[in-house]
């Protein structure tokens, strides 16, 4: 399934995290997959204290766009 089709279901941080990790599974196994899994975890740690709903929606939108770019690359 294309990333954008599932992206419409993402409404919160936990759903985004699960969506991004599922996208990662579609990448070639090995260093590339490990790199993106690590980057996803680090991003969530950095933004864990974000409490502005508008900013959270911006982060979600940007993360989905970035995931689509990586998956189409």
| pLDDT score of 6 more than 80 | no
Buried b (16+ CB within 10 A) or exposed e, 59-68: bbeebbeebe
Segment 7-49, tens digit of pLDDT: 666 778 889 999 999 999 999 989 999 999 999 999 999 998 9
Residue at 7 is within a domain: no
Number of domains making up the chain: 1
CB 52 within 8 A of CB 64: no
Residue at 52 is within a domain: no
Judged on CB neighbours under 10 Å (0-12, 13-18, 19+), 43 is: middle
| pLDDT score of 61 more than 80 | yes
Residue at 19 is within a domain: yes
pLDDT score recorded for residue 1: 41
Q: What residue numbers bound the domain in which 36 lies? A: 14-24+31-44+62-68
51: DSSP letter: -
Dist. CA 17–CA 73, nearest whole Å: 20
pLDDT score recorded for residue 7: 64
Residue at 37 is within a domain: yes
């Amino acid at each position: 399934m294309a990333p954008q089709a599932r992206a419409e279901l993402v409404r919160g941080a936990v759903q985004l995290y699960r969506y991004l990790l599922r996208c990662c599974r579609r990448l070639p196994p090995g260093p590339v997959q490990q790199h993106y899994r690590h980057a996803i975890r680090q991003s969530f740690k950095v933004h864990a204290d974000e409490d502005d709903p508008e900013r959270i929606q911006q982060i979600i939108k940007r993360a989905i766009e970035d995931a689509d770019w990586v998956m189409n690359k």
